[in-house]
Structure 1
Amino acid sequence: MSVLERAVRDVRTALESGRVTPATRTKFQAVALLLRDERGRIRAQTDSTESQRTARLKRLDDIATALAKNAVRHPALLALLAEDAVVSDEARALEREMLRRAGIEAPAEEPAPEPEPTAAAPAKPAVVPQSVISRQMANPFLAPDYSAVRPSGPKPTPLSSWELLDPLLRSFERAGDGTPACMPLPEPTTRKVPGGRELMPHQARLVAAAADGHRTFLLADEPGLGKTAEALLAAEAAKAYPLLVVVPNVVKTNWLREAGLWSTRRRATAIQGNGDSVDGFADIVVVNYEVLDRHVGWLGDFGFRGMVVDEAHFIKNKTSQRSQHVLTLAERIRSFTARPLLMALTGTPLINDIEDFLAIWEFLGWIDEKKPRPDLMDALTETGLTPADPGFSAAARRAVIDQGIVRRRKVDVAADIPERRVADLPVELDGATGRSIRAAERDLARRMVTRYRDALAARGSDPAEGIDHDLVRRVATWEQKDAAGASNGDNVFTMMRRIGQAKAALAADYATQLARSAGKVVFFAKHVDVMDAAEETFARQGVRYSSIRGDQTPAVRQRNIDAFVDDPGVAIAVCSLTAAGVGINLQVASNIVLAELTWTAAEQTQAIDRSHRIGQSEPVTAWRIIAAQTIDARIAALIDDKAGLAAAALDGSEEEVGSSTDAQHATLVALLTDALSA
């Protein structure tokens, strides 16, 4: 423990200089590895009492909290804690050295084995909460019943020999018919729900579909149209209890509150940490992605008859651990329930690629890794067409939509919700800061030009023959990879952060003006130091604000949200784009200030829709603060260009879906192209 505490102090001292050096990164990662291993070692001890283990774990938690607080302002450090972060050889060596200093014999160093692509990542220790054990003992008849499951054996069809997944994806790019992608929904018989509430008509129609027997939904309504209530009431209509709900951590508390409003006859519980406080007899179990790994075992055996995945675009990367756990649980539920209710909720199902659909479709049971499953295969077969036929794309798109895609736009279903608009507010970065940022941008462009010309020279090409756009894209990819692995230096990521820091006071000043002239304002930023600078400006100007961040406990976060919503004196909500961009209602404000740009149109839309949602009575304006004459303006334009992806795939737009190149790569391509043209 003393060795760990000393190492954390060293990290804090190094970070006080304001820079994250390679040595600091190495020590941070080594300490994080030791904390994880020490926790497992303490839990496995058999020669100590429960109280001794609890005391040691408490001390270990204090050390881990101190480490996290020191690193919270440095994304490059926090990235080292990701499940897919690469552990450096230096960190492994330092970890062994720290063990030796602590008097613990380090394991014998073995040659690293060749990587096996199919090998599963080591999981955290699995847990089974005591209340779950009590539930199983109290009622053994709650064990899963496998008797009614539909046989999963393949049935030969004329399409069995065709590769179908890619044609299905492409059908959403090419076969839009001018209408949103939405399955036929029945007219509801009633819109009244327990508690005297009344559903919006579009909500009631989805619930009616569940009552009529439909069981899989990709609920892709635009943000703010009440997907949470729809999912809870669909579960009631389908009698899909127990119900498992997988959510981002920031909306876990909100789901419990919504369950109390819409599912008044059902008990809801949330899994926190190891699940010590979970109610094993609850009808609705809410778990966040971050702790799913340690609970996936008992959740798979719990006997759920329904599963909801909120912000389902979180599982778009099928190789990630969170996606694998979600897919495993869904398959487990299908294995003992003939027709479970499976719902994927997301207002932004496509972030960069049309392939983002695949993991969601697999979760819903429409496809497996290689082909459509029986229900979708039957629907495709009934069209009488193959991918070689001209009408296949339109028919295939319709067949997939009828499996359960539900997409409604605010303009179509909620006429009382006012239109929103994004207004760009250019600002000039004057003085030494502005000059430094523009100089860094020029240096970045020159560096890429040099790499481009070196590559041309290496292959003997004549630079006077015009711009080789394929090579431009490759150079941008090289630069992007270098930037992702760098902790300092001038690159596209550090420049965007510096621009955000430079804009912070200007954006805060403008938010103050809006608050004083137009009422409550929501202020969004990406980086903690930008939020800090804005809050200092508000405090200096005597403006009361509420802070909503990712490092807050759910109780503190909800208290700050309630303060902004309910207290007339709290004029501004200072929000993290990542922590407050989903799952909260801030419709008391009709003005939003976006102090920093996101990398995707989806993130920007999610932020704006915290205010532009049901309950809003005024037009919503998002004021996007843009640093003129910098890379900031270029990124804003690229984000806007990217916004057509979801529209083309889901809203029936005839606009062609853009490439999967993200805004970071596209920014570098544009920057290098302009430099070469000049």
Structure 2
Amino acid sequence: MARGGQRQNGATRARRRGRELDNEGIIPILARAVREVEGAAQRGKVKPTSRTKFQVVAQLAREERGRVKVDTEINEAQRAEQLKRLDGIGTILAKTTARDTSLLALLAEDAVLSDAGRDLKREMLVAAGVEVPEEEESAPEPVATVAFDPERQVTPRSVVSRQLANPFLVPDFSGVVRPSHARRLSGWELIEPLLESFERAAGGATSCMALPDGEEFSFRAPAGLELMHHQAQVVESAASGHRTFLLADEPGLGKTAQALLAAQAADAYPLLVVVPSVVKTNWAREASLWTPHRTATVVNGNGHDVDGFADIVIVNYEILDRHVGWMSTHGFRGMVVDEAHFIKNKSSQRSQHVLKIADRIRARAGRPLMTALTGTPLINDIDDFRAIWQFLGWIDEKKPLGQLMDRLEDTGLTPIDPGFYPAARSAVIDLGIVRRRKVDVASDIPARRIADLPVELEGEVGRSIRAAERELARRLVERYDMALATRRSGVVVDGIDGDLVRRVATWEREDTTSSGSKDGENVFTMMRRIGQAKAGLAADYAAQLARNVGKVVFFAKHVDVMDTAEELFAKRGIRSASVRGDQSPKVRQQNIDAFVNDPDVAVAVCSLTAAGVGLNLQVASNVVLAELSWTDAEQTQAIDRVHRIGQDQPVTAWRVIAAQTVDTKVAELIDSKAGLAARALDGSDEEVGSSADIQTEALVALLTEALVTRGD
């Protein structure tokens, strides 16, 4: 009896322990959070706060899965139950991703967690009773959930000194334009037709405002520097009174110099420059180079070292929330937003901060100089224009403003008239869109080409990847057959049913935790594995180039690929410099300088996302792309770190592609999606691709090929 009682008591304790596990720890918290995200996705587009929660849940679920697998304090039944619950969370994440495919990027292991995300993660861990590491406790304060949070505001001491030194600084209303009132177009919805006018662009249609054109311009570059003709045109336009520019020249045509000199020509000081953190140092250097008689200050952290009397104030997006208050009343007469596509999501906090400051500057300065810089203004959708146009003061949330409305009224047309669209497009462009291509304006920049370099993945790694791809294709075919067999519509399709193929591909992407993919294998993870497998081959080719033709820039998406490359270069006795996202600005700049100035540093190993903007690496003429990007814009940005003004050699980008794998299909898809900016801005006749998810398209290609192979 005693022994039986002990067994009963043990079973009771096990059941009690199981119930405790159900209600304690991180899993219940993740379950509640993922349901909240799912509900938000069902109501419409996922907003920034829900996106942050989605990313944190995915990261914590991944970490908890790893912990549960090795937890020695639970038995196998409890372990299986915990893993089952985590699978349920993963399924909800996958279904949410299907509703908003932009969330896929947040699932990457190397996806950067924002300050708000780090704080939310810490809060969840604390709520779960987990002891948070010290570095987590010292994370920055949470980002405000609104565009302006008074509690986070700081005012640097020297800014206070400037305010005291200018006690009678008052708004300048001398240049305020009379508000425009719609007459004929009153009641028309005009924002969508304006955006659509760029999608309808006919072949050969210009995307550049009229600019001064002459052999001699009144404005000169500083001694020892040369201003190219296309750069001088923008500066001269600012000098003659133009005050809003969307400077969308292709990367490498010197937009930074144009913006700085335009501000000098317009006397738009003090000037606020908002940039990604990785290029703050570079902007300060460029300011001292092109406007040596103007003082520049860089805002770091709370701005303790800021020179409040400086002519040029440079701040990065990530800390802008702390400085919205004083920057809104500082008396800026000009504002530059670099890499302006960073603000394309109008609901994001960085966009709200930028737009708030811009509105305050316009309200106080009359006709300030407002300049948006981006070589890739359109990455996924024509809608990417909205926030940039709003920053420039051309539109607000609902309608065109001021000059734009007047110009639309002057056309005498409405959106039901076919002629409205080309006229509306011209009206927007005339407000200040400047788009020039290298081939048109910089004949002295040598040509560039992208050369695909197929490589064979050999050995166990290659066999494993090909086996995983075959398994993925088999699973897709099985799903297709099952869907075909159970279809009730009665529709009979001769051959392969393209619509069903696409639905099956979508289902597969959603269901990353199905019984046929316990290892989580999908297109995203397969591409990562392929990148790891290519790392040594890509690095070997870069080493050969360095030995034979000189300096090389090596781009990769993932840290482990960069690590592999740097190890190989070290073994070969080739010195390299690393440019990564987790470096401080000082270390980053030191490594860039070493590559540019030290003849013994032969390779720059760069992160595709962290080093794809703001770098001048034209000391090299060969680029190796070890991993594929998911967008043509990201790939182009990387190549244009080398193919830019100052380059005197033809540029070749060697794109390393794993033959006979999904890598080749993804490369083709990326190339096929490159038509958006070409049509909207460059007057190309290419079809505008939608923002369709490339992972889904790759699955469609895999399934279609498998069905063709078996003879469907």
CA distance in 2, matches of 1:146, 1:27: 61
Q: Does 1:618 align with 2:645?
A: no
Q: How does 1:377-396 map to 2 (within 5 A)?
A: 377-396=405-424
For residues 528-577 of structure 1, give each alpha carbon's deviation from its aligned partner in whole angstroms, at most 9, with x where no partner exists.
Answer: 10000001111111111111111111111111111111111111111111
Question: Structure 1 residues 276, 455: closer, same or farther in 2, change over 3 A?
Answer: farther
Match status 1:22 vs 2:61: yes
Per-residue CA deviation, residues 624-656 of structure 1 (Å, 9 max, x unaligned), is: 000001111111111111122111111111222
Instruction: Map residues 588-599 of structure 1 onto 2, 5 A cutoff.
Output: 588-599=619-630
Matches within 5 A, 1:172-183: 172-183=198-209
* Aligned positions of 1:222-371 closer than 5 A: 222-371=250-399
Q: Structure 1 residues 353, 20: CA separation in 2 closer, same or farther (over 3 Å shift)?
A: closer
Deviation digits for residues 473-520 of structure 1 (CA, Å, limit 9, x no counterpart): 444445445569999721222111111110011001101111111111
Q: Is 2:167 the counterpart of 1:140? A: yes
Residues 133 and 392 of structure 1: CA distance in aligned 2, closer, same or farther (over 3 Å): same
Matching residue's letter, 1:135:
R
Deviation larger for 76-85 or 242-251: 76-85
CA contact (8 A) 2:148 2:353 kept: no
Give me the TM-score of the superposition, normalised by structure 1.
0.82
Deviation at 1:306, TM superposition (A): 0.9
| Dislocated runs of 4+, deviation >6 Å | 99-102, 484-488
Distance 1:402 1:675, change over 3 A: same
C-alpha distance in 1, partners of 2:120/2:487?
35
- Partners of 1:451 and 1:297 in 2: how far apart? 56
SS at match of 1:76: coil
Contact 2:126 2:132 in 1 (8 A): no
Shift in alpha-carbon separation, 1:248–1:476, aligned structure 2, 3 A: farther
| 1:180 Cα deviation after fit | 3.7
Distance 1:313-1:452 versus aligned 2 partners, 3 A rule: farther
CA contact (8 A) 1:76 1:487 kept: no
**Residues 23 and 525 from structure 1, CA distance in 2 versus in 1: closer, same or farther, beyond 3 angstroms?**
closer
Q: 2:183 aligns with which of 154, 157, 164?
A: 157
What is the alpha-carbon distance in structure 2 between the residues aligned to residue 422 and residue 172 of structure 1?
A: 28
Give aligned pairs, total.
598
Matches of 1:423 and 1:206, distance apart in 2: 34
1:198, distance to aligned residue in structure 2 (A): 2.5
Q: Does 1:184 align with 2:210?
A: yes
User: Secondary structure of 1:193's partner?
Assistant: coil
Output the CA distance in 2 between the equivalents of 1:275 and 1:484: 47
> Which is further off, 539-548 or 620-629?
539-548
Residue 156 and residue 469 in structure 1: after superposition, are their counterparts in 2 closer, same or farther (change >3 A)?
same
CA contact (8 A) 1:441 1:630 kept: yes
**AA in 2 matched with 1:647:** A
Aligned residue for 1:218? 246
1:211-258 CA-to-partner distances (Å, cap 9, x unmatched) read 111111110101111000000011111111111111111111100000
For 2:599, the equivalent position in structure 1 comes to: 568
1:284–1:567 distance in 2 versus 1, CA, 3 Å: same
Matches within 5 A, 1:567-586: 567-586=598-617
Aligned to 2:192: 166
Query: For each residue in 1:340-388, what CA deviation from the matched residue of structure 2 results, as whole angstroms up to 9, or x when unmatched?
Result: 1111101111111111111111111111111111211111111112122
Q: Is the 8 A contact 1:242 1:303 kept in 2?
A: yes
2:444 is aligned with 1:425: no
Distance (whole Å) between structure 2 residues aligned to residue 382 and residue 179 of structure 1? 21
Equivalent position SS for 1:194: coil
What letter is aligned with 1:621? T
TM-score (norm 2): 0.79
Whole-angstrom distance in 1 between the partners of 2:342 and 2:274: 11
Specify whether residues 467 and 337 from structure 1 end up closer, same or farther in structure 2 by C-alpha distance, changes over 3 A only.
Answer: farther
Deviation at 1:147, TM superposition (A): 6.5
442-451 vs 531-540, greater mean Cα deviation: 442-451
Letter of the 1:126 partner, please give it. Answer: Q
Higher deviation after alignment, 379-388 or 184-193: 184-193
2:104 is the alignment partner of 1:76: no
For structure 1, the 5+ residue unaligned runs are: 1-6, 8-18, 29-73, 103-117
After superposition, residues 475-486 of structure 1 pair within 5 angstroms as 475-480=504-509
Shift of 1:425: 0.4
How far apart are the structure 1 equivalents of 2:120 and 2:477? 32
Give % identity. Answer: 67
C-alpha deviation, 1:176, in angstroms: 2.8
Contact 1:27 1:94 in 2 (8 A): no
Q: How big is the shift at 1:87?
A: 5.5
Q: Is the 8 A contact 1:525 1:595 kept in 2?
A: yes
Which secondary structure does the structure 2 equivalent of 1:317 belong to?
Answer: coil
- Shift in alpha-carbon separation, 1:96–1:408, aligned structure 2, 3 A: same
Query: How far apart, CA to CA, are the structure 1 residues paired with 2:129 and 2:110?
Result: 20
Say if 1:414 and 1:23 are closer, same or farther in 2 by CA, change over 3 A.
Answer: closer
Q: CA deviation at 1:663?
A: 2.6
Counterpart Cα distance in 2 of 1:134 and 1:478: 61
Residue matched to 2:669: 638
CA contact (8 A) 1:483 1:493 kept: no
Paired amino acid for 1:285: V
Q: How far apart, CA to CA, are the structure 1 residues paired with 2:148 and 2:623? A: 43
Aligned to 1:601: 632
Whole-angstrom CA distance in 1 between matches of 2:465 and 2:278: 34
Correspondence for 1:532: 563
Alignment of 1:512-551 (within 5 A): 512-551=543-582
Map 1:106-125 onto structure 2 (within 5 A): 120=146, 125=152
Shift of the 82–125 alpha-carbon distance from structure 1 to 2, 3 Å rule, reads: closer
Please say if residues 418 and 619 of structure 1, whose CA atoms lie closer than 8 Å, have aligned partners that are also in contact: yes
Please give the alpha-carbon distance, in whole angstroms, between the structure 1 residues aligned to 2:485 and 2:260: 62
Structure 2 residue matching 1:572: 3-state secondary structure: strand
> Aligned AA for 1:138?
A
Q: Is the 8 A contact 1:220 1:405 kept in 2?
A: yes
Measured at CA, do residues 345 and 121 of structure 1 come closer, stay the same or move farther in structure 2, by a change above 3 Å? closer
* Counterparts in 2 of 1:573 and 1:407: CA distance versus 1, 3 Å: same
Cα distance in 2 between the residues matched to 1:158 and 1:651: 31
Mapped to 1, the partners of 2:511 and 2:343 lie a distance apart of 26
* Alpha-carbon distance in structure 2 between the residues aligned to 1:447 and 1:270: 54
CA distance in 1, matches of 2:562, 2:614: 20
Which residue in 2 is equivalent to 1:658?
Answer: 689
Distance 1:511 1:93, change over 3 A: closer
How far apart are 1:156 and its partner, in Å?
2.8
Q: Verify the 8 A CA contact 2:230 2:441 in the aligned structure 1.
A: yes
Q: After superposition, what is the alpha-carbon deviation per residue over 1:90-109, rounded to whole angstroms, capped at 9, x for unaligned?
A: x755312448999xxxxxxx
More divergent stretch after superposition (120-129 vs 550-559): 120-129
TM alignment of 1:80-119, pairs within 5 A: 80-81=113-114, 83=116, 94-98=125-129
8 A contact 1:191–1:200 mirrored in 2: no
1:34 is aligned to none
| Structure 1 position 584, deviation (Å) | 1.0
State the partner residue of 1:673: 704
Conserved? CA contact 1:21–1:488, under 8 Å? no
Task: Give the letter for the 1:169 counterpart.
Answer: L
**2:456, 2:254 → 1: CA distance?**
39
Structure 1 residues 284 and 414, CA, compared in 2 at 3 Å: closer, same or farther?
same
Letter of the aligned partner of 1:24 in structure 2? E
